[in-house]
Structure 1
Amino acid sequence: MQHELSPRPQTTEPVTLPTERAAGCPFDPPAGLAKLREQKPLTRMTYPDGHIGWLATGYSTVRAIMGDPRFSSRYELMHYPFPGGPDGPLPPAPVGDMTGVDAPEHTRFRRLLMGKFTVRRMRQLSARVEEITAEHLDALARGGPGTDLVEAFARPLPALMICELLGVPYEDRERFQSHAHTIMTMDATPEDQYAALAGLQEYMAELVAAKRAEPSDDLLGDLARDSGLTDEELIGVGGFLLAAGLDTTANMIAHGTFALLANPAQAEALRTDPELAPQAVEELMRYLTIAHTGVKAALEDVELEGQVIKAGESVTISFEAANRDPERFPDPDVLDLHRKATGHLGFGHGIHQCLGQQLARVELTVALPALLDRFPTLRLAVPAEEVPLRTNMNIYGVHRLPVTWDED
């Protein structure tokens, strides 16, 4: 049932993108987003480089834009919404970066990979996810109370899984993890971004050469054997999948744990009813929306919400505001693991919806209940306000999560 809202007051002057999160509210979007959404779901916005485009904050508006082929995902057509980016349109997407291209190029890459990330294939990995999870929980227990959950649990689990899936040696992680981190940093200089991308591609080029010489029984080996991709394309796709697989689920595990510890009744509900896990994961994806912001560029004039988005104008997409829209989700600022959060935009929407979402679901569905069950007294080791937040990252979450528990 939709809430009946009061008539929206109208804004006239272009706004800037709200980025300031309220103190003491580590799970909520910047407060300014809700105010703008209440006024208009589509608002004129001034970009840091001076471009006048749009900001979409309403659920139905965001979903409509993400599903409309008249809006492009090509980086070179869009303007960067955060301070510190390029002065003008962005450079084109690197080869293999599927998030920054449109059909038919996007379609070609997507078709090659979709069959390797199906629900059925990812569920077949559940046993391995359970095994890795148990190994890391055992290690936590052996180490005794007190650890950074990001380094000890949240980061290694998805890293091991994506490395095994792709055929990337996990022991090489020192060579690529820092590059992936820089690529995800919003305020990294363009020079640092390019250097990190070059470093990741250099590593992947060595790996691709080895796969070409002796194809292995893994995703990169399969692609090296019979995909028809050029070396440049395979290097790009491999780097893209590796970087995405390292960062996103790791942050959901850590930030999801933080949210559950801050909501003990919800944590207890999941601990006592593991069957709730799949539904809980969807609600956490909605509530946290760690992939918080995107951008599209209009390829032609588009009328939406009674306004005309002109060809060439950029539209910033606030997924976190859309997932807190009370017209779609009643009491949206409440974490409720019993909520049916179907239709949330935590994995995006449309043709660019997250390719690895089924793998992420498997990892989260296994990891979060197992952690709570193994350590029923798990709690923060520092005050919540001292947990360092990733406010400068494309993927929101925590840099560290100091936790402790009572020994058995």
Structure 2
Amino acid sequence: MSVTETVQNTQDIPSFPFPDTFLPHTSTRIAELARQGPATRVRFGPSQLPIWLIVRTAPARAMLADPRFSRTRTLDFNPPLTAGQIPDPNSLLWLDPPAHTRIRRLVNAGFAHRRIERMRPFVRATAHARIDAMLAADTPADLRPLAFHLPIEVICHLLGVPDLDREKVRTWSESLFRFHLDPQAAAAGLGALYGYLGNLVRTRREARSTTVSAATDGLHNGVNSAEPQGLLDVILDAYEESLRDASTSAGETSPEAGDVPLTETELHSLTMTLLIGGFETTAGVMSNVLTTLLDDRSQWEWLVANPDGMPDAVEELLRYHPLSMTFPRVATEDVDLGDFVVRAGEVVVVPLAAMSRDPAVFPDPDRLDLTRTPVPNLTFGHGPHHCIGAHLARVELTELLTALIEKVPDLRLAVPAADLRYEVKAPIGRPEALPVTW
């Protein structure tokens, strides 16, 4: 069955996404569907393709971990709801194992828990500096730029983007997520980012060659001049090692899929994926978390009075405000997910917000409870495509909230929450502006 094949009577099933799908709160339509069953058929995107919408945790978890569901196959029908709406077939976001496994293992070390924890002082200092700048200005202030600037500063620091270039990198990146408003600007931003990151990779490789030579000379003289490794260095180490291994094994039997060296195109695409994935969704979640806490003063005041409760509070806030959607997948064969069967060629989508409000997993799921004992959830996805930057996102949200409750305990919304306007077509809905005072 082709992924573009339709079913009869498609007019009898609802069109998705629903008008409130990308709002920060749970979609009332999705919640209604979840009460009726684990999955339903909907018409998806501009082509109104009939797909499965999975709205309960158990089948969603099973599907996300099942290799019979392909992300790569979704490129056959130019899927909507993608990062920037401009799919890159070389990106980790769209690859299936073993190609996905081969590339992802190159960056696993760069996002290891210990390495991210070493980043915490930088994240904390950046959050404090941004808040100090806000406090030095007049009120009311817009809190949304703070939520956006922190994660872009962090991922640029990780990748070694110079300070002077970070504002234009942020501007280009944000244009990708406004594809529905200005497709030409998004395409121009994509081209500019690829060009910039390609140059960044080349520059860093040249600098590494110089550093290696200097380090060798220094060791001969009893001096170690090697620089600390950043994320880009970790990736380049793995890239260069894969090239060496391929060269060593040349002429031998055909390499396994996991031994195929990373191409330069894949290297540049990987850098782009990490940059974009490292700030946009985190920034959106931060904006929504802050809106929720400031809208309900009792929640904010509890956090101010109980800073030791921050770890559990962060997990609850991430449950309450997960990403809106996983990427579509296509079944490569018939798969029985319990109460329903997805046929080969059919498309499935999982709205993660529905998973975070599943009453089978969370008692009283629509209530924000900062003291709730965390349980495993799908906030960062599941299976091979589980978000590689999950711990980094936790660190960023923790340090931002900690800095705010320390520096601005009297922070409050400058307008009624009902007056806030929301972007609802981005990968994750968020306020257009978040005016605050103190």
2:67 equivalent to 1:69: yes
Q: Specify the SS of the correspondent of 2:16.
A: coil
- The answer to whether residue 43 in structure 2 is matched with residue 46 in structure 1 is yes
- Confirm or deny: 8 A CA contact 1:78 1:296 kept in the other structure: no
Q: What SS is found at the alignment partner of 2:155?
A: helix
Shift of 1:190: 6.1
Q: Which runs of 5+ in 1 are unaligned?
A: 1-11
After the TM superposition, which segments of 4 or more aligned residues of structure 1 sit over 6 Å from their partners? none
User: Which residue matches 1:214?
Assistant: 207
C-alpha distance in structure 2 between counterparts of 1:342 and 1:37, whole Å? 20
- Quote the Cα distance in structure 2 between the aligned partners of 1:232 and 1:379: 47
Larger CA deviation: 340-349 vs 12-21: 12-21
- SS state at 2:428 partner: coil
CA distance in 2, matches of 1:366, 1:50: 42
CA RMSD of aligned residues (A): 2.6
Mapped partners of 1:81, 1:206: distance in 2: 30
1:320 and 1:380 map into 2 onto residues whose CA distance is 25
Among residues 177, 183, 188, which one is paired with 1:184 in the alignment? 177
| Pairwise CA distance, 1:385 | 2.4
Q: Deviation string for 1:241-283 (max 9, x for gaps)? A: 1111121222222221111011222212211122211111111
Map 1:285-324 to 2 at 5 A: 285-324=318-357
The CA deviation at 1:355 is 0.7
Alignment counterpart, residue 93 of structure 1, candidates 77, 83, 88: 88
Give the aligned residue type for 1:366. Answer: E
Q: Is the 8 A contact 1:55 1:315 kept in 2?
A: yes
Alignment partner for residue 141 of structure 1, among 135, 151, 160? 135
Residue of structure 1 in register with 2:107 after alignment: 113
Contact map agreement 2:420 2:433 (CA 8 A) in 1: yes
What are the Cα deviations for residues 7-39 of structure 1, in whole angstroms up to 9, with x where unaligned? xxxxx94332242239xx964122100111111
Structure 1 residues 185 and 94: alpha-carbon distance in aligned structure 2, compared to 1, 3 A threshold:
farther
Give the whole-Å Cα distance in 2 for the aligned partners of 1:211 and 1:397.
35
Matched, 1:197 2:190: yes
Contact 1:77/1:312 (<8 A) preserved: no
Decide which structure has the larger Cα Rg and report it: 2
Q: 1:19 is paired with a residue of what secondary structure?
A: coil
Q: Aligned pair 1:227/2:227, yes or no?
A: no
Please state how far the C-alpha of 1:69 moved relative to its aligned partner. 1.0
For residue 129 of structure 1, give the secondary structure of its aligned residue in structure 2.
Answer: helix
Aligned length: 387
Q: Which runs of 5+ in 2 are unaligned?
A: 1-10, 209-226, 241-261
1:91 Cα deviation (Å)? 8.0
Rounded Cα–Cα distance in structure 1 between residues aligned with 2:114 and 2:100: 23
Identity of aligned residues (%): 36
Aligned to 1:342: 375
**Corresponding position of 2:79:** 80
**Normalised TM-score (structure 2):** 0.82
Confirm or deny: 8 A CA contact 1:162 1:246 kept in the other structure.
Answer: yes
Alpha-carbon offset, residue 81 of structure 1: 5.4
Structure scoring higher RCO (CA < 8 A, sep ≥ 6) equals 2
Question: Does the CA contact (< 8 Å) of 1:18 and 1:30 recur in 2?
Answer: no
Distance 1:189 1:359 in 2: 30
* 1:325 paired to 2:318: no
Deviation at 1:141, TM superposition (A): 2.2
CA contact (8 A) 1:303 1:309 kept: yes
Counterparts in 2 of 1:325 and 1:121: CA distance versus 1, 3 Å = same
Separation (CA, whole Å) in 1 of partners of 2:162 and 2:287? 24
2:279 pairs with 1:246: yes
Amino acid at match of 2:235: L
Alignment correspondent of 2:15: 16
Inter-CA distance 402–175: structure 2 relative to 1 (3 Å threshold): same
What's the counterpart of residue 25 of structure 2?
28
Distance 1:373 1:176, change over 3 A: same
Return the letter of the residue paired with 1:159.
I
SS in 2 for 1:155: helix
Q: How far 1:126 moved relative to its partner? A: 1.4
CA spacing shift, 1:189–1:135, aligned 2, 3 Å: closer
Contact 1:182 1:196 survives alignment (8 Å): yes
* Cα separation, 1, equivalents of 2:117 and 2:333: 41
**1:58 matched residue in structure 2:** 56
